[in-house]
Amino acid sequence: MPIICRKFTPKSTDILKDVWEGENGDRLYDTDATTSDLEGYIEECSTLLDNDLRASVSDDISKHTFLEAKRFALANPDSCVADALKIRLISYFCRESVIIVGDETLGIAKVEDTRFPIYGQVPVPSVLDFQIDTIAIHLMLKLIKSVVSRLKKIIYGRRNKEKWYEVYLTCFILLGCLEKVYSLQLGYMGMGDAMDKDVVMHVNYISRSMMEEWQYSAENLIFHFRCILRGMDPFSFDWEGPHERIGEAATTNLDGQAILYLRRVTSLLKEQKENIRGARNRIGAPLSWISELFLPDEHSPQSVTSATEA
């Protein structure tokens, strides 16, 4: 993606923090054009990003669910599932290292440390990388606003129980994103031995604040999913049998592919029952929050020991 930039030389009057508009009215350079370019670039790379994400998923329940969510989103492009998948892609984009290609290097040397994934390539300057990430985060915030608006309409609307499947897929995707960033932040906090003591204290304070917000968001999603079910447990139904025995509320908005997915997942849940129950006690590990979607008979999520502290 070509991007227009200029050399950054800090001056005493510069604002060195995440501010889109300073007190004097100055704004970041041409952010509207860059935002549009970045949005188009992420869309252009969506297949590659999706392939990377698919390769990173190790458990069968998640593999089937993300494939089903993608199918559902293609069939229902205005659904919150479609926006949730876009959030997942942008979240992954922000986690990856960005490099410079072409003749222009902006004066940055190639990475010589073989331990880095971008060894032998030219990294984007940290200030520019920060600005790109900030723009991407603002793209995510717009999508989050759209998802929340749609979920509110479903949850507080009439016959909301019949839309449980869309809410389920959305929650699964978003909980997966929260699990990943929580896990990465735990790992970042674990790098304290290589940092100055004051830096470690600051990093830990900021990290724990963010992680508390992520945990609150996860518990909020789980709570509202259980509210819309109102005691119904769709993953305990016999999806191999006649649909009449399941009930209209559970089956109204399901097509044939959704039924096939539920057959696969309910079978996997039976096989992995103990693993699913155990996952809920390993916050920061895969399925730690997602597992709550399949355990509606248990108590609401509680604060538990982190995966690195267990």
The pLDDT profile of the chain, 310 residues, written as one tens digit per residue, is 777 777 777 777 765 654 445 556 655 556 788 889 999 999 999 999 999 999 999 899 999 999 999 999 999 999 999 999 999 999 999 988 888 888 888 888 999 988 788 899 999 888 788 888 999 999 999 999 999 999 999 999 989 999 999 999 999 999 999 999 999 888 878 766 666 777 778 778 888 999 999 999 999 999 999 999 988 999 999 998 877 778 888 998 999 999 999 999 999 999 999 999 999 888 888 999 999 999 865 544 443 333 333 2
**Confidence at residue 302, expressed as pLDDT on a 0 to 100 scale:** 41
* N-term to C-term CA, the chain: 43
Cβ-contact 296, 229 below 8 angstroms:
yes
Identify the sign of the CA torsion 132, 63, 177, 184.
negative
Q: Indicate the pTM of the whole model.
A: 0.83
**Confidence at residue 284, expressed as pLDDT on a 0 to 100 scale:** 83
Integer Cα distance of 90 and 162 in angstroms = 30
Identify the sign of the CA torsion 53, 57, 60, 62.
negative
Amino acid code (one letter) for 12: S
